[in-house]
Amino acid sequence: MPTDVIKAKNYLLSLGIHGEIPMGSERMEMRKRQMSGQQELVAGGTTTGTAPAQHEQAGQGERASNACCFCWCCCCSCSCLTVRNEDREERNRKASHDVKAEDPGDCEESPKPTMDEVCSWGQSFDKLMRCPAGRCAFRQFLRTEFSEENLLFWLACEEFSKETNKSIISEKARLIYEDYISILSPKEVSLDSRVREVINRNMLEPTSHTFDDAQLQIYTLMQRDSYPRFMNSPVYKNLLKSVSEQCPES
């Protein structure tokens, strides 16, 4: 019996069966390695799959935080909104400068004119313009003709010509130019090309005499054009009647 077993084993060995067992073990080992590798790939794929999603979400978050006021979301923290607020503040500051430049204030606070003063206005335009109450009445008339800017410009130039501080002269010159000389201003006064060229040259280094020619031209325009109509207007006639009625009582 042992002899037969030994013969059988030798027969199997002769058939090469001893090599099949290691080969099967290697295949099993390879399969295990392949399966473990596939599991690692699946796990890695899941991880890499979530990474782009996270990057995409992060990108969307960045896009939302950087959203501009021109996009549909209208983000409140948008830098463009800040720019608009700064522009609005700048316009408000400029508007306050404009009000100061255009409203000298002497017209509204002038005392009530006397009979002699009102009568003297009819003698010459110079007497009308030298009297605060006369300028006030003349300004009211110019409003009805939509030419009040002529008197406002002349008054601004009168105040400007008295300034001596160079830094203030430059600032006031800029305001007067923007309010009354610039063609973009709704309060632009009517000046000929020669005077405009003089002003443009003078604005390079403004002085208290920068607007002298323009002031004289507007003064002449009011004297020749507006003053005669003022003397025949209800504004002047009613004022003359009012002071004449009060004259006997005084």
Q: What is the pLDDT of residue 137?
A: 95
Q: To the nearest whole percent, how much of the chain has pLDDT over 70?
A: 54
Q: pTM of the prediction?
A: 0.58
Q: Is 204 helix (H, G, I), strand (E, B) or coil?
A: coil
State yes or no: pLDDT of 236 exceeds 50: yes
Q: Mean of the pLDDT values across residues 12-41?
A: 55
Rounded CA gap, 199 and 191, in Å?
10
Q: Is 248 helix (H, G, I), strand (E, B) or coil?
A: coil
Q: What is the pLDDT of residue 158?
A: 96
Q: Which fold has domain 112-246?
A: Regulator of G-protein Signalling 4; domain 2 (1.10.167)
| pLDDT tens readout for residues 54-68 | 544 544 554 444 444
Q: How confident is the model at residue 41 (pLDDT cuts 50, 70, 90)?
A: low
* Residue 199 buriedness (CB in 10 A; 0-12 / 13-18 / 19+): buried
* Separation in Å, CA 93 to CA 78, 89, 103, 167, 176: 23, 6, 16, 18, 15
209 alpha-carbon distance from chain centroid:
32
* Separation in Å, CA 3 to CA 6, 7, 9, 18, 160: 5, 6, 10, 20, 137
> Which of 28-32, 51-55, 243-247 comes out lowest in average pLDDT?
51-55
Vertex 70, ends 68 and 71: CA angle to 5°? 75
Rounded CA gap, 40 and 8, in Å?
45
* Highest mean pLDDT out of 18-27, 33-42, 112-121: 112-121
| pLDDT tens readout for residues 154-213 | 999 999 999 999 999 999 999 999 999 999 999 999 999 999 999 999 999 999 999 999
* 40 Cβ contact partners less than 8 Å away, ≥ 6 residues apart: none
Rounded CA gap, 177 and 173, in Å?
6
Q: What is the pLDDT of residue 51?
A: 46
